[in-house]
Structure 1
Amino acid sequence: MKLLKSCTVLFLLVSTLASAQKKEITLEDIWTGSFRTERMGGLHSMNDGQQYSVLDFSNGTSQIDIYDYKTLTKQKTLVNSANIDSIGYFSSYTFSEDESMVLLATDVESIYRRSTLGKYYIFNSKTNQTTLVSEEKIQEPTFSPDGTKLAYGLNNDIYVKDLTTGQTNQITKDGKKNEIINGVTDWVYEEEFSFVRAFEWNAASNKIAFIRFDETDVPEFSMDVYGQELYQTQQVFKYPKAGEANSLVSLHIYDLESASTKEVSLDKTYSDFYIPRIKWTNEPNVLSAQYTNRHQNELDVWFIDAETLKGDLVLAETDKAYIDVTFNLTFLKDNSFIWTSEKDGYNHIYHYDKTGTLINQVTSGNWEVTDYYGYDEKSKRIFYQSTEDGSINRAVYAIGLNGKNKQKLSEKTGTNSADFSADFSYFINSYSSATVAPEYTLNNAKTGKVIKPIKNNEALQQKLKGFNISSKEFSTISINGNDLNMWMIKPSDFDETKTYPLFMYQYSGPGSQEVSNSWNSANDYWYELLAQKGYIVACIDGRGTGFKGADFKKVTQNELGKYELEDQIAAAKKLGQLEFIDADHMGIWGWSFGGYLSSAALFKGNDTFSMAIAVAPVTSWRFYDTIYTERYMTTPQENASGYDDNSPINFVDGLEGDFLLVHGTGDDNVHVQNTMRLVEALIQANKDFEWMLYPDRNHGIYGGNTRLHLYKKMTNFIDKTLGEARPEAYKEQ
């Protein structure tokens, strides 16, 4: 017994010394890229299905390298910016359909979240010549299917360049800033329908369908841009807030042979509507267009004859809440189509014939299809990603078009995603989990078996072994009749006989997910830093979040923020009952929707939370845009109580704890107006709080040392309010 006791003491001593020798994570480590992961950028499967291309950067240049799937060996460098005098480097590339030409993006500047302007060059791989598309910066350049032309946006109009003659024609001529936009989306479509290019080539390369936006009557929003000059400037753009006028949209088809444009007019009358998707079918004269009403609870799919402009309504979906718009519509050779829908309560795959008659529901079950990868005509199999391994995991599957012979293709539990070769013979599987950094393998698409590893982050994982890292513990917590997904990070020297402050993170927005079995984000390293300091960090996905069925997600309809807040407060109360949680020192934070909810949590849950941090928060849904807000709330005119009863700006009297409010003044998405109005309400309520504005920073609040400064400020605030407020770092029970 004495020997055993001595060995135990020695083991504890060695373990303690080993732990003491490990490095502590610093904010500088996180925000200077010390934990950056290796990834595969610009991956593209070549047409033959046997090779793929990637975009590589080195020594200030960029190049497109071609690899063989089977051997993973590099076959050649297709193009290197070092060999082109006019190009320093390019940041992205796009092949023409026959892969003889490559469009290279250079000198790219952001407009909003997804939109950019850039100088574009065409590299011809047959002649090794490089040609500048336009002397001006352009938007969304796109090859015609036959590779003879290139369409692009410039100054709110559409241009077509003939790549044989070099001649450029302007096909729309009424574009005007803050009035008319042709072929490129307005601000709210870009942000909420997730696309920028609003024009499409048909298969015969002789027609272009495009959406025209008339935003003349949309109210303007202006932001001061402080910059470096003596006087500030202003950015003025059209932004429709909830209940206000949207752009008037119309659908047009331009015929290149007759140089004429026709407007599509459908039999159904839409008084206030959106066109969130257009896509040509495999028939050159048949265009599909999706129309949805302003409430977004009715979605129609039309097939439009480009010659007669007659439209056939092939699919009409309705929902008691809303219908999500996706990019999953896929046309098969016979013009039947693949569609995804939540109509049975979970997101699944459906197969319709070209008249809109349902052939069959391909997938079914109490789980969600989370990504659609494509259809292989040869094997008649559909490839997709789903939550069949549990809502916090992602797996890759194949299934017959007839809904039979389902096969799991990914092997490991965690987050799997796939990039398939053009002929569906191979796929590159990307895998990570909370404990395994991203790794890439070449897999056989027929069996799912790993053929060869391609890239991993073993070096990063070895590096992290030298740091004081705690594990992320996954579990569920029973709240308000639901088992909610949760993770928790405890200090590495956690002692259940002591109590710790609790710091909660959440986003909580509709359909979102923060509790996932995937590799670390930058914030995860910050949570590890906080755990080092003696905090317990936890995250709970409450009602309204995604991947657990439509009812769970859509329960928040017309009451955005109500049930989400109830779940966060109830979860904090339940965690506060644990013997190792200091219930008097519990905080919550979030960004954007999460900042909205953390503000409300502190104001309405002042008996639970002692502090909160809100970054770039919405403070009243009346200040946010039409498409997002009205999807979940209808309009303020219809649902005033839903807006006002759940907006933190109306409940500042409840502030009793410590509050830090942060915003970027150049936020085109959640305007700094939200914070200014909340600040004024707090002042008039005579409430003490702290706040920070980051000049000219957008919704992401980054650039230079900005992120480092922000996270230092938040860390210091947490230490001051949750750490130093306690008698000592760890309080004995």
Structure 2
Amino acid sequence: MKTKQLFLSLTFFLSFLGFAQSELTVEKIMQDPNWMGTFPSNIQWNEQSDVIYFQYNPEKNISDSLYKISLKKKNHIEKVSLNEKRHLIPQSGDYNSKKREKVYTKNGQLMLYGVRRGESKMLLNLGKSIISPQFISDERISFMMDSNLYVYNLKTAQINQLSFIQKGKKSSDKNNLSEREEWLKNENLELLAEVNKAEERKEKQKEYRDNFDENQKKFYLGKARAYNFNVSNKADYLSFQTYNPTGSDYTGVPNYADASGYTKNLNARSKVGDQERKTTLYLYNTANDSVMKIDPTNLPEIDRLPAYTKDYPDRDWKKEPRAVTYSEVYFSPNDKHAVVDVRSQDNKDRWICEIDLTSGELKTISHQHDEAWIGGPGINGYYNGGTLGWVDSQTIYYQSEQTGYSHLYTYHVSSKKEKALTSGEFEVFNPQLSNDKKHWYFTSSEVHPGERHFYKMPISGGNKIKLTSMEGNNEVTLSPDEKYLAIRFSSKNQPWELYLKRNKKNAKAEQLTDGKSKEFQAYNWRKPELIQFEASDGEKPYARLYKPDADKDMHAAVIFVHGAGYLQNAHKWWSTYFREYMFHNLLTDLGYTVLDIDYRGSAGYGRDWRTAIYRQMGGKDLSDQIDAADFLVQEHGINPDKLGIYGGSYGGFITLMAMFNSPDTFQAGAALRSVTDWAHYNHAYTSNILNEPHLDPIAYRRSSPIYFAEGLKNRLLIAHGIVDTNVHFQDVVRLSQRLIELGKDDWEMAVYPVEGHGFTQPSSWTDEYKRILKLFQETIGKKD
């Protein structure tokens, strides 16, 4: 009897302990993420397609390490030794025509890897860094060194220099010296005979060298800097770009908690409007050693004035060619054609152009104009052009948002015909050609905006084969031999794990990792309901809805605003906001309803959704939060006096706009690391959406919370890291002074001396979210 009682007591105790372990607290959620387990990232294959490498951390070290799984021992996860790691072949590099050899660089040395032998050997160590090697035939390898193009012959071991780009100006160029400097030099040479003789010897030596190298027409960069070198497949052409460094002012961010005990200034970004960079593209013909400067001024509508200029009739707007930036140059396999993505620096026009290799003229293949800004999957690359390349020597491929969604296109340079390979109200991500160039592989959101699946499609388009089936996000890394898919998969309430699947439609995906800790699995993590609600303009944003049990329902709700603006969070996979996801589970346990919205400006829903915030951040993106609050009141029984809102970065900005511009909607708000004045944010992001502050001040005034601070009525928490080099602490300092001057009382600020934009210390996360929870508990968290 005693034994039975002891057993029952022990069972009850263990059950109670298990229940206690499953309860959520802010301290538990915000501790070092290692408590959740370990989850794979940065998936890659070896060259033989029989080993998968990934970052992992089962030992709970300070950072992840490299691990591997062999297809021969799929149930065995092994840490990669330091020696093996040193000898890993990088993913970058170039194969010969039969894919039996791969050329790459390591520590600036030129290396050759034999795929069948599984061995590497060093080809060249020249004491200078070698970059960008590629096979131009099975016997010849081109590479870049010191901003010049060289060719190495594998049979003869001979090196030939094909380009002659020099820093600075030609020494005989009189423009090297000012008139004053020229006079001073001549005066000195007349006075000092020995110095004059030495100068004459130097001139004769230079004349000899120039005569010796008369066939080498050196190209001098002057004060410009060269970058973005691209070599044609047969090394007949070299393209490169130059820019002149500007003296942009960079904002200093003071670090008051530096280990030295002194306040140290951290170099941070400049502000929007500070970064106009004039870029020039050159084409170097290595056969005749000539250089052509590419002229973009004849591109169609290059001098178009943006529509917003009509709002400033008193300003004298000059209609002139806009500055442009270029992607890399892509040469056709036969070296007869080259294409480049050209962007106007205001990012309102994009031209995909063919470069005439004889004249250097730009011939427009595709022109996309957007009064807001050019963007979307495969198009976002401001300097790299996104998706662009050659299918064969006559056909290029690229992505375009011309239908409102980013899709895959081809263009035949001879027939001048464009063809859409995909279409519909979904987006395409990361297209790649198969090894035999008979098929495409890509990821898309065709099934649902909140799902990602991997597809195979004929090279000319047509029937797509969906190769993944698990509901969530399937991040696929294809093996080099294309026989296997390594799938990094997650669902709404389950973090990322690694799966293996044969490259066949009906093959079953096999799970290779299971990194969740027992402590993490002890809690029954919710699968938030993915819903749509109707906004006031008829659009239907997606959102994640967390509902409490009926007996705990306080009829109070918290709206979470994700950051980044252009980011998707209302989806079916594990959120990058995993701490917030866990916090939302905690809030739901306490009786709150939580809504997490993909408001206007979010990623995943096409061009119109992306650009709906143009010239007014805090417009449609804010009204979506207000409409969501009304939806919660009308459809989910939320008390209109018990609504809160919070978010970080862009989410912090929206929180401020909500508390200032719709003060009767939310009784409490927590604005974390928030932008308060867009004229003080960076150039690349802000100028797309609001143009530049000195050109379009209207957009900045109606988009910046600091101009609306007088509207604050209810409780506001502001939290910010002092060493934030993204959204500077200066933002909230200026806003706090504004609130003080306005005599506002119901606000407080929490500052974090050692934190940047993304917090790293569990103590900071814990403190911040305890304050957020306290704010909601004291304002909207009391039962009716």
Q: Same fold (TM over 0.5)?
A: yes
User: Which AA in structure 2 matches 1:513?
Assistant: Q
Give 2:460's aligned residue: 402
Give 1:193's aligned residue: none
Query: 1: distance between equivalents of 2:497 and 2:605?
Result: 27
Cα offset for 1:53? 5.1
* Distance of aligned partners of 1:669 and 1:314 in 2 relative to their CA distance in 1, 3 Å threshold: same
Query: 1: distance between equivalents of 2:288 and 2:420?
Result: 42
1:241 aligns with 2:297: no
**Contact kept in structure 2, 1:55 and 1:64, CA below 8 Å:** yes
Where does the alignment leave 5 or more consecutive residues of structure 1 unmatched?
1-12, 105-118, 184-197
SS in 2 for 1:643: helix
1:626 aligns with 2:683: yes
Cα offset for 1:652? 0.7
Q: Where does 1:124-143 land on structure 2 (aligned, <5 Å)?
A: 142-143=132-133
1:475 aligns with 2:531: yes
SS in 1 for 2:533: strand
Query: 1: distance between equivalents of 2:476 and 2:683?
Result: 34
Query: 2: distance between equivalents of 1:15 and 1:476?
Result: 42
Cα offset for 1:394? 1.5
Query: 2: distance between equivalents of 1:512 and 1:63?
Result: 29
User: Which AA in structure 2 matches 1:97?
Assistant: D
**Contact kept in structure 1, 2:323 and 2:345, CA below 8 Å:** yes
Give 2:167's aligned residue: 173
**Contact kept in structure 2, 1:501 and 1:722, CA below 8 Å:** no
**Contact kept in structure 2, 1:497 and 1:580, CA below 8 Å:** no
Where does the alignment leave 5 or more consecutive residues of structure 2 unmatched?
1-11, 96-100, 170-222, 303-320, 381-385
* Distance of aligned partners of 1:650 and 1:541 in 2 relative to their CA distance in 1, 3 Å threshold: same
Cα offset for 1:664? 3.1
Q: Which moved more, 1:464-473 or 1:330-339?
A: 464-473
**Contact kept in structure 2, 1:23 and 1:466, CA below 8 Å:** yes
Cα offset for 1:219? 3.8
Cα offset for 1:335? 3.6
Give 1:182's aligned residue: 226
Cα offset for 1:51? 4.3
Count of residues in correspondence between the two structures: 663
Give 2:404's aligned residue: 345
* Distance of aligned partners of 1:56 and 1:82 in 2 relative to their CA distance in 1, 3 Å threshold: farther
Give 2:53's aligned residue: 54
Residue among 340, 344, 362 paired with 1:289: 340
Cα offset for 1:502? 2.0
**Contact kept in structure 2, 1:398 and 1:408, CA below 8 Å:** yes
Give 2:36's aligned residue: 35
User: Which AA in structure 2 matches 1:248?
Assistant: K
**Contact kept in structure 1, 2:30 and 2:765, CA below 8 Å:** no
Give 1:3's aligned residue: none
Give 2:417's aligned residue: 358
**Contact kept in structure 2, 1:470 and 1:490, CA below 8 Å:** no
Give 2:558's aligned residue: 503
**Contact kept in structure 1, 2:45 and 2:53, CA below 8 Å:** yes
Query: 1: distance between equivalents of 2:66 and 2:493?
Result: 33
Q: Where does 1:465-544 land on structure 2 (aligned, <5 Å)?
A: 465-467=521-523, 469-480=525-536, 481-491=538-548, 494-496=549-551, 498-507=553-562, 510-520=565-575, 521-544=578-601
SS in 2 for 1:683: helix
Query: 1: distance between equivalents of 2:268 and 2:35?
Result: 38
TM-score normalised per structure 1? 0.78
SS in 2 for 1:295: coil
Q: Where does 1:253-332 land on structure 2 (aligned, <5 Å)?
A: 253=283, 263-266=293-296, 268=298, 271-283=321-333, 284=335, 286-305=337-356, 308-324=359-375, 325-326=379-380, 327-332=386-391
1:640 aligns with 2:697: yes
Query: 1: distance between equivalents of 2:720 and 2:168?
Result: 37
* Distance of aligned partners of 1:563 and 1:71 in 2 relative to their CA distance in 1, 3 Å threshold: same
Cα offset for 1:647? 1.3
**Contact kept in structure 2, 1:212 and 1:250, CA below 8 Å:** yes
User: Which AA in structure 1 matches 2:777?
Assistant: G
SS in 1 for 2:770: helix
Cα displacement string for residues 463-512 of structure 1 (whole angstroms, at most 9, x for unaligned residues)? 53312533322222222212221112244xx2257415322211365542
**Contact kept in structure 2, 1:419 and 1:429, CA below 8 Å:** yes
Give 1:232's aligned residue: 263
Cα offset for 1:240? 4.9
Q: Which moved more, 1:555-564 or 1:596-605?
A: 555-564
Query: 1: distance between equivalents of 2:150 and 2:470?
Result: 48
Query: 1: distance between equivalents of 2:31 and 2:160?
Result: 47
Cα offset for 1:637? 4.1
**Contact kept in structure 1, 2:426 and 2:445, CA below 8 Å:** yes
1:420 aligns with 2:466: no
Give 1:97's aligned residue: 94
Give 2:82's aligned residue: 81
* Distance of aligned partners of 1:62 and 1:372 in 2 relative to their CA distance in 1, 3 Å threshold: closer
Cα offset for 1:307? 6.0
* Distance of aligned partners of 1:217 and 1:425 in 2 relative to their CA distance in 1, 3 Å threshold: same
1:575 aligns with 2:632: yes
Query: 2: distance between equivalents of 1:280 and 1:267?
Result: 21
**Contact kept in structure 2, 1:496 and 1:579, CA below 8 Å:** no
Q: Where does 1:526-565 land on structure 2 (aligned, <5 Å)?
A: 526-565=583-622
Query: 2: distance between equivalents of 1:368 and 1:94?
Result: 26
**Contact kept in structure 1, 2:41 and 2:56, CA below 8 Å:** no
* Distance of aligned partners of 1:439 and 1:56 in 2 relative to their CA distance in 1, 3 Å threshold: closer
Give 2:282's aligned residue: 252
Give 1:590's aligned residue: 647
Give 1:566's aligned residue: 623
**Contact kept in structure 2, 1:303 and 1:314, CA below 8 Å:** yes
**Contact kept in structure 1, 2:102 and 2:113, CA below 8 Å:** yes
**Contact kept in structure 1, 2:564 and 2:650, CA below 8 Å:** yes
Query: 2: distance between equivalents of 1:376 and 1:312?
Result: 29
SS in 1 for 2:554: strand
Cα offset for 1:213? 2.8
**Contact kept in structure 2, 1:217 and 1:246, CA below 8 Å:** no
Cα offset for 1:171? 5.3
Give 2:182's aligned residue: none
Give 2:251's aligned residue: 221
* Distance of aligned partners of 1:573 and 1:395 in 2 relative to their CA distance in 1, 3 Å threshold: same
Query: 1: distance between equivalents of 2:638 and 2:14?
Result: 25
SS in 2 for 1:584: coil
**Contact kept in structure 2, 1:662 and 1:691, CA below 8 Å:** yes
Cα offset for 1:434? 0.9
Cα displacement string for residues 20-62 of structure 1 (whole angstroms, at most 9, x for unaligned residues)? 445223435544121144215341463x7x4455256789997
Q: Which moved more, 1:357-366 or 1:580-589?
A: 580-589
Q: Which moved more, 1:251-260 or 1:307-316?
A: 251-260
Give 2:239's aligned residue: 209
Cα offset for 1:290? 1.7
Query: 1: distance between equivalents of 2:75 and 2:445?
Result: 33
**Contact kept in structure 2, 1:180 and 1:216, CA below 8 Å:** no
Give 1:711's aligned residue: 765
Query: 2: distance between equivalents of 1:625 and 1:465?
Result: 41
Query: 2: distance between equivalents of 1:237 and 1:167?
Result: 42
Q: CA RMSD in A?
A: 4.2
SS in 1 for 2:588: helix
Cα displacement string for residues 574-620 of structure 1 (whole angstroms, at most 9, x for unaligned residues)? 31345653433322122221111111111112111122222222212
Higher relative helix content? 2
Indicate the percent of aligned positions where both proteins have the same amino acid. 20
* Distance of aligned partners of 1:528 and 1:167 in 2 relative to their CA distance in 1, 3 Å threshold: farther
Query: Which of 1 and 2 has greater Rg?
Result: 2
